[in-house]
Amino acid sequence: MENQKQGHIANRNEPVISINGLFKSFGELHVLKGIDLNVFKGENVAVLGKSGSGKSVLIKIIAGLLKPDQGEVIVLGKHVDKLQGRELDELRLRIGFSFQSSALYDSMNVYQNLAFPLTMNSKHLGSNEIKDAVMEALDAVGLPDKTGQMPSDLSGGQRKRIGIARTLILKPEIMLYDEPTSGLDPVTSSEINELINDVQKKYKTSSVIITHDLTCAKTTGNRTAMLLDGRFLKIGKFEEVFDTNDEQVKRFFSYNFIQ
Amino acid sequence: MNLGRTKKYVFTKVIDNYLIGIDKAYEFTVRFFREAFKRPFHFREVINQCFEVGLRSLALITVTGFIIGVVFTKQSRPSLEDFGAASWLPSLMGIALVKALGPLVTALICAGKVGSSIGAELGSMKVTEQIDAMEVSAINPYKYLVVTRVMATTITIPLLALYCSFIALYGSYINVHAEEATGITLFYKSAFTSLSFLDLFTSLAKTIVFGFTIGIIGCYKGFNATQGTRGVGKAANQAVVLAMFLVFLEEIVIVQIANWIRYF
């Protein structure tokens, strides 16, 4: 229990993300087969599952990057699948998305990467205000001295941090993390987990953390949801989810534990 | 029996995919006209891309244009001399280089250099989720990446084609001058006297269409790249092949239309 997350208490009355009866297929491949999930204000929900189980598809639907085949996805009171154009953009400004590959723009340095969403969305801001916002976001992820570096010069952990900083610059209410610790060593993974918790506390965000890393789920999630065969097997506290006789869940747990 | 059915299924699927591909490309192209005239306008990015397209191809176009001018003159001279018409060499070069070779060579060079580069760049951005990252930041990636690049190729390739024709004519002049000591002013005047307004207009229209085609094909292939790094290579390769094919096709169609107008 020492590692149990000591995050702030979620407000159970206000779901910021509400997903009901979500289905998504790609041709013959049925990825999500009836997903129901509520994420409450200030809460971190870790979604665990095998590679290819549709975890990333789930958050891409939440961010409006993919359309669901069936079901409703309500984010901050708006039906994401029904939004278009400016309305969708306005909602997206309230959501931060940290990509598995960090998705930093290759042709821009760190400063330009962070300033880009701000300059494109807040035309009224002056260069000094943009500079202050960039430095604040870089400070929040602990990399204030990397402004001039190109993404190719950064380590995997630094890229993840800069990716998170780029989303924080727009002060999102919801953070979506896609495999934040994948491909990182245990020490860097632990730093990223701490950063996710710091972001939750400092920016008062609600988050969905997609991961197959049990340590990440346990450290960052107020609740954990186990995704198996396109459905949530169990949603609850980390220990409750793994208190089961399901063979697949046991195997998932023991493999991660041995690792 | 089963094998026959499977083959039939594979065949119809290929046709399906082909038709779906055409529909997607059509949608992608129509979207350009919808987005190009809507705010916000990224003028600075268009200028950056014009600079990129021009700079990327300028050296190659200079060298190729000059060589084409020299070689084409060298090869045409004996035939004209046989008929005692060597003095028509500047006129022939004017017609050949400005009407046909300049635009075509420029378009083929740009399809190879610029088309592949756009296909690879956007393909790489697609597979590394950079395009998705723009979208979730409420930035329209089509407008920022596609509209700016297509505008840049549509503006820059006609200018490059004009430059190519001038350089090729200069190459031709060097060759003519070596044989007959003709003055440069007289050479260019003779070359352009044989060209009508319709010739120049057709040449310009052709290069605008070529520029648009190269840009939109490069962007379409890059924007729809899949399968990781392999997909990036495939996108770049397909962008070049398809753009070159369409350039030849457009050349035939535009020349035919120009001829109809001429004889109408």
Residue A191 distance to chain B (closest CA, Å): 23
How many Cα atoms sit within 13 Å of B150 on the Cβ side?
A: 26
Residue pairs spanning A and B at CB distance below 8 A: 56
Q: Is residue B7 part of a domain?
A: no
* Domain CATH number, residue A17: 3.40.50.300
Per-residue confidence (pLDDT) for residue B180, from 0 to 100: 82
φ/ψ (deg, to 5) at B147: -60, -45
Q: Is residue B13 part of a domain?
A: no
* pLDDT tens readout for residues A9-48: 455 567 899 999 999 998 888 888 988 999 999 899 999 9
| CA–CA–CA angle A70, A76, A82 (5° rounding) | 35
Interface test with A, best of B136, B149, B226 (most A CBs within 10 A): B136
Give the ipTM of the model, two decimals please: 0.86
Q: Which of B130, B136, B138 is the closest to A105 by Cβ?
A: B130
**pTM listed for this prediction:** 0.86
Q: Is residue A97 part of a domain?
A: yes
Number of structural domains (chain B) is 1
Residue A65 distance to chain B (closest CA, Å): 7
Per-residue confidence (pLDDT) for residue A259, from 0 to 100: 46
* Average pLDDT score over chain B: 90
Interface test with B, best of A97, A113, A150 (most B CBs within 10 A): A97
pLDDT band at A8 (very low <50, low <70, confident <90, very high): very low
Chain B, 103 to 142: residues with Cβ < 8 Å from chain A are: 124-125, 128-130, 132-133, 135-140
Range of the domain at B247: 39-263
Number of structural domains (chain A) is 1
- Assess whether pLDDT exceeds 50 at residue B246: yes
* pLDDT tens readout for residues A167-192: 999 899 999 999 988 888 888 888 89
Q: Is residue A43 part of a domain?
A: yes
Per-residue confidence (pLDDT) for residue B208, from 0 to 100: 97
**Chain B residue closest to A66 (CA)?**
B132
Q: Is residue A131 part of a domain?
A: yes
CB-CB under 8 Å, B133 with A90: no
pLDDT band at B86 (very low <50, low <70, confident <90, very high): confident
- Taking the CA atoms of B215, B218, B221 and B222 in sequence, report the sign of the dihedral they define: negative
A226 DSSP β-pair partners: A48, A234
Rounded CA-CA distance B253/B264 in Å is: 16
Q: Is residue A172 part of a domain?
A: yes
Range of the domain at A199: 11-258
